[in-house]
Amino acid sequence: MTKENLQYISQGNSPQEHLQHIGEVCEAGGRWIQLRLKDVDMATSLNTAIKCREICDQYGAIMVINDNVGIAKASQADGVHLGLNDMNPKEAREILGDNFIIGGTANTLDDCISHIKDGVDYIGLGPFRYTTTKEKLSPLLGAEGYRQITTALKNAKSEVPIVAIGGIRLEDISDIFEAGANSIAVSGMLTDQIDLEERIAYIKKQIA
């Protein structure tokens, strides 16, 4: 599992914009990228993933593909992030092998426990706040929701990292880490921002 504690989830109106924003984030210090393309055909998805791999290699960044295990394998990504309705992590592990990072989306303690049993490397727990990047949004957790779930997992002796996700703002970061999350995944906060380098440095400092 990567020690990076800030994940950028790509955003853009076209595959080219996704790649542009990924390049900008990497140049500004981001070292964990999730390529999250929606509603594109398989060929475009693979082509974009291969280009993303090249950008990540240039900066020594971790690259994770959202949802698609086949694209993750074909593009030589470092891992895949699976939603609650995607392939089971156990099945993904059989296809990808032990060296791939496998993350899973969770909204409840039961989701987390299920993922842990299925052998994920990290859990993307959220949403923290309302976010426009998801069409079907699960119930919002807020800091108290994270605290309850991370406390229960700690009591159960789980060591699987919790990545907070969903509408996170700069002012939320300290509260999220105090509530027990190990890292954060953000999209809008780092997409097309003028002060990108300062934002990433600030986030990493908060996390440290």
User: DSSP characters for 172-204?
Assistant: GHHHHHHTT-SEEEESGGGTT-TTHHHHHHHHH
37-41 average pLDDT score: 94
Q: What is the mean pLDDT of the chain?
A: 94
| pLDDT tens by residue, 92-104 | 999 999 999 999 9
The answer to whether 146 and 165 have CB atoms below 8 angstroms apart is no
The secondary structure of residue 156, as a DSSP letter, is: T
User: What pLDDT does residue 206 have?
Assistant: 81
User: What pLDDT does residue 208 have?
Assistant: 60
User: What pLDDT does residue 133 have?
Assistant: 64
| pLDDT tens by residue, 157-196 | 999 999 999 999 999 999 999 999 999 999 999 999 999 9
CB burial string 101-118: b at 16+ within 10 A, e below: bbbbbbbebebbbbbbeb
| Fold (topology level) of 6-207 | TIM Barrel (3.20.20)
> Kind and range of the H or E element at 131?
none
38-60 average pLDDT score: 97
List, in sequence order, every residue forming a beta bridge with 80; answer none if it has no partner.
Answer: 65, 102
Confidence of residue 204 (pLDDT cuts 50, 70, 90): confident
- Cβ neighbours of 172 (radius 10 Å): 19
User: What pLDDT does residue 106 have?
Assistant: 97
Confidence of residue 207 (pLDDT cuts 50, 70, 90): confident
| pLDDT tens by residue, 70-87 | 999 999 999 999 999 899
